[in-house]
Structure 1
Amino acid sequence: MTDPLKPPPKKDPQKVQAVPLLPPSMRSRAAMGLTAAAAEARFMLQHCARCGAVQYPPRDACRECLSVDLDWRDTDPRGVLIAETTVRTSPNLYFRGQAPWRTGTVRLEAGVSVVVHVHGDCVKGQAVRLINRLDRAGQGVLMALPEEATPDMADDPELRELTADPKHRRVLIADARADHTPALVQALRAAGATTIFLGEAEAWRPWPGRAALAALEGVHILPLDVTDTASVTELAGEIGGKVDILINNARFLRPGGVLSRTDTAWAREEMEVNALGLMRLAQAFGPGMRARGADGVNSAVAWVNILSAHALVPDPAYGAFDASQAAALSLSQSLRAEMRPGGVRVMNVFTGPTEDAWHQDVPPPKVTPGALARALVAGLREGCEEVWCGDVARDLAERWRKGPKVLEREMGGDT
């Protein structure tokens, strides 16, 4: 059975800091399909559209009929662990530092044998289920888990390397005033986060719920205004070396598109908070987090942005806000590439309309604070890069994948 994860000791500042190391990251273009699926924690393999044969490893032509028409599809993850071994040394610096490391072969019910990482609670000859996760290099890898959950299963060292589990980690939430912040705090504390920092702009202005949050053990409310470079830099100087997970939930939202507004004042504020606020946070906290990707139990692991799903395609009724979300999405994708050398993943949580004052006239379904918090924590535990929260967000994502131009017309009222 997996040993429960113990809280880490205080870091000794006199010791040399461990340098983040990454597993091998080179992949073929075909294998990138596995990575794309892992970004959403989906177990997918190639299926031949002509003969139906399941493919592994990823390839350009079917192993049975040589057809090049191979589709990535969700696949039955059940199988049997038919062989396993423990790697105790390796020429690769990452795996040498992580040794011992279990690996093995699983025969899937889908008909193929796959090479996988193996959870410590798996037993040779017994049934297992596979998951597809991103490793520290941001590439999709497969891991075998016990068919049934075991005690402290998430604390397995190999599995923890493939996730951003909040347990024993310190979290910064950028906007304490957001409607969903209390739900986020509750979910993170339940997930085992040890310290939660909350950023507060305009501390002189009272807001409901502040006293309740400030009274919680391990919760600290600190000055932070994402539109003020000095404020962001000052807080980074104070706690930047302690932040393991940063949740950028700062958002400025007003209804209106391009023609319905008489000036650019609100649009400028939306860009200041939603896009440039992200950039200020990244410039202040990003380098420190990237350098702490190998700090052990509470290493820096994730940067989270909460975005509107309309960052993919705008809703004309909120066109200017959606433009700022599209800008934030583009910045987050650039940030992902820059954070990857430190093994820190950038996760975007896309939501549909949320339960707040600015979506009063939007019909349901809408995303509640509790639903957002649950989706975010689940995404961290699964090591995702993309999380779709709510029916509207999931529907938009599916329609966007099928035809971006068609979806643009539908959002514009052409259907």
Structure 2
Amino acid sequence: MTDPLTPTKRKDPLIATHAGHVSPALRSRAATAMAARAGEGRFVLQVCDDCSRATYPQRDRCPFCWGTLNWQDQPNGAVIEAETTIRSSVDLFFKDHLPWRIGSVRLDAGPMATVHLHGDVGRGDHVRMELKLDRAGNPALLAMPEKETPHMADDPQLRVFTADPKFRRILVTDGRTATGQALAEALLKAGADTVFLGNADPLMRYPGQDRIESMEGIEPVRLSLTDTRSIEALAGQLGGRVDIVVNTVAFARQGGVGFGGNLNNLQAGLDLEVTGLMRLAQGFAPALSARSDDGDRSAAAFVDIVSVHGLTGKAGYAGSSATAAARLSLVASLRGEMAQTGIRVMSVLTGPVDDCWHQNVPPPKTTPAQIAGAVVTALQQGQETVCADEVAKDVLSRWQDDPTLTIREENK
């Protein structure tokens, strides 16, 4: 049975921070393709077009008939055939996390696989397989208990594959919005130790301020993503304490490109959402990376909440879609940089948010509670891409099937 995680004691400032290491980079396009699907929370295997047999590990051709392989979602059950515990390793990452349990399982889909084992499973157990990403962004199979067990989320090996907010300190960049406040509450309910709640203008009050700032675990901080000095000052103050950064800023305004557009709104949106994202990353990414493997409460993730219409554009909200597209591009680049240091970079995609700037958009719309739930899910599952609502899921699914068609459909 997994031992419960206990709050980490205050670190001795005279003790050097433990250097973080990651596993070797991916070496094949097939492994990278599996990682992309793992980042979406899918359990997939390669299946041969000719003999219809599933195979693992990743290959370029079917090992049975040399046929073409394609990725397909598969049943995620398995039986553990054998297990062992690694107690010595020359790999820098595993050397720091020993002992480490692995085993051989017979997947319900057919193949045998060598997998990582949760602490509450053993030989002969029927388990639930999850396709996870390790700290370097590599795909890995993890055998989980079929049913919830006491303190299951506290398993040390599982926490390596996630960014669970339990006992962690989290910066939410904009607490003035309903989304930021809902997220702060959800993170505290998920076990976060402290939520630093950003406020770009402390002299101006905002709806819900007294309630949210009076909650235990909430610590208001001054933070404006349009002010480089504000970010540098906060990073200098909190860089060694923040474990997760969640960017909730948004600047949604109606307007087209040739008709009804406002260049001032576009420039303000680009400065806040795009340049602001770069300021935020430059302020906090180095400090997060330096603490990526610093014990039970190490730095873990950088999360950006962004409109799914950054993939397609959206007639009537051209400026907002353009800034979302730029943010998705920046986050993709940041993900590649941070994979070398062990910090997860996540995108939470939303449809139109149920706020005052989308009053003329018909339902369904995304609620702040849905966005908050999606962020917590992404952190607990270690996923790179999560959709907060059905609109985002629908747009993303259609875009993956046929990008050109979806762009036309969203801009009719």
TM-score by length of 2: 0.98
Q: Is 1:202 aligned to residue 204 of structure 2?
A: no
Asked if the contact 1:20/1:341 (under 8 Å) is kept, the reply is no
Q: Distance in 2 between matches of 1:362 and 1:50?
A: 47
Per-residue CA deviations over 1:194-221 (Å, capped at 9, x if unaligned) read 0000110111111111111111111111
Give the structure 1 partner of residue 20 of structure 2.
20
Q: Which amino acid in 1 is paired with 2:174?
A: D
SS of match in other structure, 2:45:
strand
Per-residue CA deviations over 1:2-35 (Å, capped at 9, x if unaligned) read 0000111111111121111112223311122221
Q: Post-superposition shift, 1:370?
A: 1.0
Give the structure 2 partner of residue 10 of structure 1.
10
Q: Distance in 2 between matches of 1:137 and 1:28?
A: 15
Q: Distance in 2 between matches of 1:201 and 1:126?
A: 52
Q: Which amino acid in 2 is paired with 1:337?
A: G
Give the structure 2 partner of residue 87 of structure 1.
86
Give the structure 2 partner of residue 44 of structure 1.
44
Give the structure 2 partner of residue 140 of structure 1.
139
RMSD of aligned residue pairs (Cα, Å) = 1.1
Matches within 5 A, 1:121-270: 121-261=120-260, 263-270=262-269
Q: Distance in 1 between matches of 2:302 and 2:203?
A: 28
Q: Distance in 1 between matches of 2:187 and 2:261?
A: 42
Q: Which amino acid in 2 is paired with 1:248?
A: N
Per-residue CA deviations over 1:63-83 (Å, capped at 9, x if unaligned) read 232112x22111101110001
Give the structure 1 partner of residue 53 of structure 2.
53
Asked if the contact 1:34/1:141 (under 8 Å) is kept, the reply is no
Asked if the contact 2:26/2:32 (under 8 Å) is kept, the reply is no
Give the structure 1 partner of residue 353 of structure 2.
354
Which runs of 5 or more residues in structure 2 are unaligned? none
Q: Which amino acid in 1 is paired with 2:372?
A: A
Asked if the contact 1:163/1:381 (under 8 Å) is kept, the reply is yes
Q: Which moved more, 1:261-270 or 1:276-285?
A: 261-270
Q: Which amino acid in 1 is paired with 2:185?
A: Q
Q: Distance in 1 between matches of 2:153 and 2:262?
A: 51
Q: Which amino acid in 2 is paired with 1:6?
A: T
Asked if the contact 2:254/2:261 (under 8 Å) is kept, the reply is no
Q: Which amino acid in 2 is paired with 1:105?
A: S
Asked if the contact 1:198/1:219 (under 8 Å) is kept, the reply is yes
Asked if the contact 2:373/2:388 (under 8 Å) is kept, the reply is no
Q: Distance in 2 between matches of 1:377 and 1:50?
A: 41
TM-score by length of 1: 0.97
CA gap of 1:262–1:294, structure 2 versus 1, over 3 A, is closer
Asked if the contact 1:105/1:113 (under 8 Å) is kept, the reply is yes
Per-residue CA deviations over 1:97-133 (Å, capped at 9, x if unaligned) read 1000000111011111111000111020111111011
Asked if the contact 1:256/1:320 (under 8 Å) is kept, the reply is yes
SS of match in other structure, 2:46:
strand
Q: Distance in 2 between matches of 1:408 and 1:24?
A: 37
Q: Distance in 1 between matches of 2:126 and 2:312?
A: 43
SS of match in other structure, 1:19:
coil
Q: Distance in 1 between matches of 2:237 and 2:99?
A: 37
Matches within 5 A, 1:275-294: 275-294=274-293
Asked if the contact 1:118/1:145 (under 8 Å) is kept, the reply is yes
Q: Which amino acid in 2 is paired with 1:24?
A: P
Q: Which amino acid in 2 is paired with 1:373?
A: A
Give the structure 2 partner of residue 325 of structure 1.
324
Q: Which moved more, 1:86-95 or 1:15-24?
A: 15-24
Give the structure 1 partner of residue 97 of structure 2.
98
Q: Distance in 2 between matches of 1:346 and 1:326?
A: 16
Q: Post-superposition shift, 1:406?
A: 1.1
SS of match in other structure, 1:268:
helix
Q: Distance in 2 between matches of 1:175 and 1:385?
A: 21
Q: Post-superposition shift, 1:62?
A: 1.5
Give the structure 2 partner of residue 62 of structure 1.
62
Q: Which amino acid in 1 is paired with 2:144?
A: L
Q: Distance in 2 between matches of 1:158 and 1:363?
A: 44
Q: Is 1:305 aligned to residue 317 of structure 2?
A: no
Percent identity, aligned pairs only, is 46
Q: Post-superposition shift, 1:156?
A: 0.5
Q: Post-superposition shift, 1:263?
A: 4.3
SS of match in other structure, 1:31:
helix
Q: Distance in 2 between matches of 1:14 and 1:165?
A: 27
Matches within 5 A, 1:335-354: 335-354=334-353
Q: Which amino acid in 2 is paired with 1:148?
A: K
Q: Which amino acid in 1 is paired with 2:29?
A: R
SS of match in other structure, 1:393:
helix
Give the structure 2 partner of residue 111 of structure 1.
110
Asked if the contact 1:248/1:306 (under 8 Å) is kept, the reply is yes
Matches within 5 A, 1:326-405: 326-405=325-404
